[in-house]
Amino acid sequence: MPSFDLGGSIPPDTAHAVSVSLPEWRHNVGYEEGEAWVVDRMTTGYPRFFVHRSIEALAQAIIAKYGQDGQRALLFPTPKVARSCLDFMRPLLSPDVAQKLYAIDLALDSTKHASPRLVSLAPTVSAVVFPAAAFPVAKQYWQHTGDGISSRRAEFCQSLLSENLLVPRTGSQTSAKTPPAKVLRGPKRYQRQGSIDGIPSIPTKPPSPPAEVVLEAQESTRFLEERFGRNLDVSLVEAAKSAIRRRIAGSLTHEIDLENSHALPNMSANTRGIVSLKEDDVYLFPAGMNAIFNIHKALLKAREPLKSINFGFPYVDTLKILQKFGPGCEFFGNGSEEDLDDLEKRLQNGERYLALFCEFPGNPLLSCPNLQRIRSLADQYDFAVVVDETIGTFANINVLHVADAVVSSLTKIFSGDCNVMGGGLVLNPQSKYYDGLQRAMEEVFEDTYWPEDVVFMERNSRDFMTRIDRINVNSEAICDILLTSEVVKNIYYPKYNPSRPHYDACRLPNGGYGGLLSVVFKEKRQAMAFYDALEIAKGPSLGTNFTLCSPYVLLAHYQELDWAAEYGVDPDLVRISVGLEETEVLRGVVVKALEAAAAATAT
């Protein structure tokens, strides 16, 4: 097992890593408290929570060139997205601060010589500029929506900016008229100084990228040039997108040679069980949360704007999107039959809803809602059903036939390599909302997925189906050990969850129970000892090809632990995302950590 130092990237020496090493329990607490001894050592972090150093460097360069002292910026891929961020921010700020917000839209200078590669990539970036004190409000939009630019786009655009090839579009504002003022922050329930929703902000001026970041960036460039030649062919990128969409649709299960075949044959059968499913029914996004954000926007356009339903204990930003964008939502945090009884009574009394959003299984308790009953209620009372299948994965389960739309974070096991972000959305062509959603998506959808990220996602996902099989086996092996331990209080895994019948109703004939499990110990000191002794990667995210562990509730709900506990989510829960290691090696690692937990009990 590799060693991981505090604050190092996971995987090690990876410029565009999706996770960061927090190897001891106290490191996670220090991170959540914003303590410098932890935060200052972080070379990276999960991209929606931690603004990558290359992105922050580009933002500072844009401010230095076109802005004023005391300003900061967050970067987005297009002017449309930047305006959406501005629209979100202004109502949350005092009028004098809100009037100081503006956007700088940068694009390739068409009057200068540009190589075919530059022209084909069509690089753009829009900087939302604001007084530095308004950063926490801007960060809300960045974190919740997944609309921000990727670190690879930032690196590419940084080089263009330095060569004066990336310039403001005609009419783009490039300076503010007044100095920054104090920001009026929104509700403080989940905030603390220097953070938003419990996520520490990064230093205003980050240090230079470490040597391993520069090395990985050089390797990334070499990979692209060796594979595609000096110019990244746009038609090749489109073929890569097509391959990803087909894998998500369940129609492409074999290796393909994109270099020698830019056009794929017509899509035929798929494992989703929907005969009329087409490649065009699958949409790609730069992050999984961005897929959720966009289907929510599409539903608001396609139907009468109404409250939505968040059913089951949610991933944090799904709930935030439904609460902060649009008419709001009703939250049924247990996702139980009793919650469905409550919902049904509300529907019978005339309450109407836009859509029900749920995860299958949920994170971190791995319970599954009764999708068949939800589908029946949706048909009877006219609301859409959106299912997040990230944890179950379409290699193990099929939920499209009971959903109007299915979303997934491709960042997780679909990629596996923990070095690129992505999200997918599938519209069910048999849904009664299908035509309206298609029309709405024509207006809502912007293809902002950066070509280099597409290339890495396509390459990473080629062996997705075979990796799942091994991960299923490893997960059950770890569960077998935990189930017999005297220090374990509860284990959460779809196979052993009371809601297993709901999972099995959607499980594919050869499907397993997935690669995510959670464990709660009898005492907090046992959980801490187990975590500290576990000789694997430890940090945020899941679905990696290597086993990855985190005290998930501390990281996701540090400012609302009592609230989470109301729904049965223990603050000391340890979540394990199981990887591809040799089964016996993993078993040994877990046994050793359990021995440490038992020793903690004795002392």
**Residue 85 and residue 147: Cα distance in Å, rounded?**
9
Tokens 């794929």 correspond to 264
Closest CA to 539 of 36, 146, 25: 25
Q: 347 is written with which tokens? A: 């529907």
Geometric angle at alpha carbon 445, from 439 and 446, rounded to 5°: 145
pLDDT at position 273, please? 81
Residues in the chain: 603
Q: 209 is written with which tokens? A: 């990228």
pLDDT at position 275, please? 79
pTM of the model: 0.89
Tokens 């809803």 correspond to 353
pLDDT at position 3, please? 58
* Strand ranges of the sheet holding 423-427, from the earlier edge strand across to the other edge: 282-285, 423-427, 405-409, 384-388, 355-359, 308-311, 329-332
Q: How far apart are the first and last CA of the chain?
A: 28
Contact 465, 430 (CB under 8 A): no
Backbone angles phi, psi at 63, to 5 degrees: -65, -45
Q: How many other C-beta atoms are found inside a 10 Å radius of the C-beta of residue 186?
A: 15
pLDDT at position 441, please? 98
Which helix H or strand E contains 311, and what residues bound it?
A: strand 308-311
pLDDT at position 125, please? 97
Closest CA to 285 of 295, 275, 271: 295
Spans of the chain below 70 pLDDT: 1-3, 113-114, 116-117, 171, 174-235, 251-269, 603
DSSP state of 134: G
pLDDT digits (tens, 9 = 90+) for 216-266: 444 444 444 443 333 455 668 888 999 999 999 986 555 566 665 555 666
Domains and CATH numbers, the chain: 8-16+464-599 (3.90.1150.10), 53-168 (no CATH), 281-461 (3.40.640.10)
Instruction: Using DSSP, state whether 215 is helix, strand or coil.
Output: helix
One-letter amino acid for residue 427 of the chain: L
pLDDT digits (tens, 9 = 90+) for 450-507: 999 999 999 999 999 999 999 999 999 999 999 999 999 999 999 999 999 999 999 9
pLDDT at position 321, please? 97
Specify which residues 73 forms β-bridges with: 129
Geometric angle at alpha carbon 382, from 378 and 386, rounded to 5°: 50
Q: Cβ-count burial of 87 within 10 angstroms (0-12 exposed, 13-18 middle, 19+ buried)?
A: exposed
Geometric angle at alpha carbon 407, from 405 and 412, rounded to 5°: 165
**Residue 39 and residue 46: Cα distance in Å, rounded?**
13
Geometric angle at alpha carbon 326, from 325 and 329, rounded to 5°: 90
